[in-house]
Amino acid sequence: MSNKTENRKRTKADYRMRTHLIHGNYQSKKWDYNHHVVPPMSSSATYRLSSAQRGAQGFFEFASESTDFVKHVPIYIYDRLEEPTRGMLEENLAYAEGGEMCVTFATGMAAISAVLGMLCENGHEIVAHQILYGCTYSLVTHWLPRYGIQTKFVDLQNLEALKKAITHKTRVVYFETPVNPVLSLIDIAAVRKVVEAINQDRPPEKHIKIVVDNTFATPYCQRPIALGADFSVHSLTKDIGGFGTDMGGAVIGPQKFYSQLMLYRKDFGGVLSPKNAWNILVYGLPTLSTRMINQQKTAHKVARFLQEHPKVARMVYPGLESHPQFELAKRQMVNYEGKFSPGAMIYFVLKSGANISASERGGKFIDYVADHAYSITLAVSLGQIKTLIESPYSMTHSALPEEEKLELGMEPGGIRLALGLEDWHDLIEDLREALEQV
């Protein structure tokens, strides 16, 4: 790269993460964009090879176990194998998450199915928290059993239950924290301790890996790998993408799994489109800190408003003292400077009224918001510049059996709010008006 790099006195580590997220890697070997301020948008399904020998070398180096080849620009062959824009995004995501490597995918679900598919084979078991993102639940209950991979569900807040669920077939402990949508927390370090003790008596190839879906928190608010997870997975569709324009997913973890994941992605084919990768690389990740700081501030204001409202029965936000795991939240959810960062998701339930049940009232409230609130949109998904509201019981978590949802504290009238970047006064006014009407 340019002399500017050589002239720099401060090393990469001297800069704060907010700056890194904007400037990316010092010297990406993925692409020489010396004269570009913004990396070029690349879109090429296939790559010209100057000789058959170069083609052969490219196939040899692709997903090689050796890291020698990381030192030069990869020999690009075909988009589904490796591609520069995606490659740059992966470098930056790995750095942001505090992992050695990252492999991106077409969606969050493609990333989750890849990490589980890579770690497990016929006869293996997954131990998962009892509440999962609806499609993840569907993946491990409908599809993975076809490959002979079974999943046991336990309450991972209960470490004794975790110990009991683990057998010699267990290869993965999987969970989200904060848990979607009820926002309870799983203590990553405590799960690590349990798994570590069991792994000590196993050969490395049978070690249990901890996989954490970090989508709700984002790396800005929580870095699971530093807390003891082996892998972090993300839906880039949410806060990392940030604008709601593109889908994507990512797996971040130890370098030694890089080639396996790349080969899995090559053969199952769920690659992230370079056009989507470019948006996330250029708009999403660089603005993550700024968006999270502001969304979080708003979440605080809105959570306090809801908590004090006479029609609200229960309000869950990890940033308020009323959260039953507030101490854990303060320990586990911190930004890059170590400051408490509880995220921008809120879950709440309305009270029943004289002639109306809590769930009916919740439904009416959401419908009123959908019809009248300019600042709040009824839609699934989260982590966008627009504030989104939804009913997890009947929408995102419809795949879970009814009795289970009730048992797990997910009531039919529960409301999930994903804060965006609007002025918080307007959000509160729109919520106040809707609460007055139901």
Ligand X SMILES: *Cc1c(COP(=O)(O)O)cnc(C)c1O
C-alpha 215/C-alpha 188 separation (Å) is 15
Q: Which stretch binds ligand X (CB under 6 A): 18-26, 117-125, 133-141, 387-395?
A: 133-141
84 SS3 class: helix
C-alpha separations of 18 from 22, 33, 115, 322 in Å: 7, 21, 28, 30
Q: Which is nearer to ligand X, 176 or 430 (CB)?
A: 176
Q: Which stretch binds ligand X (CB under 6 A): 130-138, 277-285, 416-424, 425-433?
A: 130-138
| Cα dihedral across residues 231, 235, 241, 247: positive or negative | positive
Please tell me whether residue 235 binds ligand X under the rule CB under 6 A: yes
Q: Contacting ligand X (CB under 6 A), which of 109, 173, 252, 418?
A: 109
Q: Which is nearer to ligand X, 235 or 375 (CB)?
A: 235
* In the complex, least distance from residue 240 CB atom to ligand X, rounded to whole angstroms: 10
Shortest-Cβ-distance residue relative to ligand X: 108
C-alpha 306/C-alpha 323 separation (Å) is 14
10 Å Cβ neighbour count for 291?
22
* In the complex, least distance from residue 177 CB atom to ligand X, rounded to whole angstroms: 10
Q: Which is nearer to ligand X, 216 or 424 (CB)?
A: 216
C-alpha separations of 62 from 55, 66, 78, 238, 250 in Å: 11, 10, 11, 30, 19
C-alpha 235/C-alpha 247 separation (Å) is 8
C-alpha 341/C-alpha 135 separation (Å) is 27
- Helix then strand count (H, E) for the chain reads 17, 12
* In the complex, least distance from residue 186 CB atom to ligand X, rounded to whole angstroms: 13
Alpha helices for 36-187 (secondary structure H): 52-61, 84-97, 108-119, 134-138, 159-165
Please tell me whether residue 108 binds ligand X under the rule CB under 6 A: yes
Q: Contacting ligand X (CB under 6 A), which of 216, 305, 347, 393?
A: 216
C-alpha 231/C-alpha 99 separation (Å) is 8
CA-atom Rg of the chain in angstroms: 22
Q: Contacting ligand X (CB under 6 A), which of 47, 62, 76, 133?
A: 133
Alpha helices for 142-214 (secondary structure H): 159-165, 188-199
Taking phi over 0 as left and psi of -120 to 50 as alpha, with beta for the rest, 148 belongs to left
Q: Contacting ligand X (CB under 6 A), which of 244, 249, 342, 363?
A: 249
Please tell me whether residue 21 binds ligand X under the rule CB under 6 A: no
Q: Contacting ligand X (CB under 6 A), which of 42, 85, 104, 107?
A: 107
- Helices 424-437 & 288-308 angle (0-180, nearest 10): 30
Tokens representing 406 are 């009730």
* In the complex, least distance from residue 181 CB atom to ligand X, rounded to whole angstroms: 9
Q: Contacting ligand X (CB under 6 A), which of 113, 170, 232, 237?
A: 237
In the region spanning residues 147 to 176, those forming contacts with ligand X, defined by CB under 6 A, are 176
Contact string 58-97 vs ligand X (x = CB under 6 A)? ----------------------------------------
Please tell me whether residue 390 binds ligand X under the rule CB under 6 A: no
Q: Which stretch binds ligand X (CB under 6 A): 105-113, 361-369, 418-426, 429-437?
A: 105-113
In the region spanning residues 299 to 318, those forming contacts with ligand X, defined by CB under 6 A, are none
Strand partners, 252: 102, 232
Please tell me whether residue 238 binds ligand X under the rule CB under 6 A: yes
* In the complex, least distance from residue 249 CB atom to ligand X, rounded to whole angstroms: 5
Please tell me whether residue 182 binds ligand X under the rule CB under 6 A: no
In the region spanning residues 195 to 214, those forming contacts with ligand X, defined by CB under 6 A, are 213
Task: Reply yes or no: is the peptide bond before residue 324 cis, omega within 30 of 0.
Answer: no
Q: Which is nearer to ligand X, 58 or 318 (CB)?
A: 318
Q: Which is nearer to ligand X, 135 or 166 (CB)?
A: 135
Pairing of strands 125-129, 150-154: parallel
Taking phi over 0 as left and psi of -120 to 50 as alpha, with beta for the rest, 190 belongs to alpha
Q: How many residues bind ligand X (CB under 6 A)?
A: 16
C-alpha 191/C-alpha 247 separation (Å) is 30
Q: Which stretch binds ligand X (CB under 6 A): 83-91, 128-136, 143-151, 277-285?
A: 128-136
Please tell me whether residue 247 binds ligand X under the rule CB under 6 A: yes
Residues in contact with ligand X by the rule CB under 6 A: 107-109, 133, 135-136, 176, 180, 213, 215-216, 235, 237-238, 247, 249
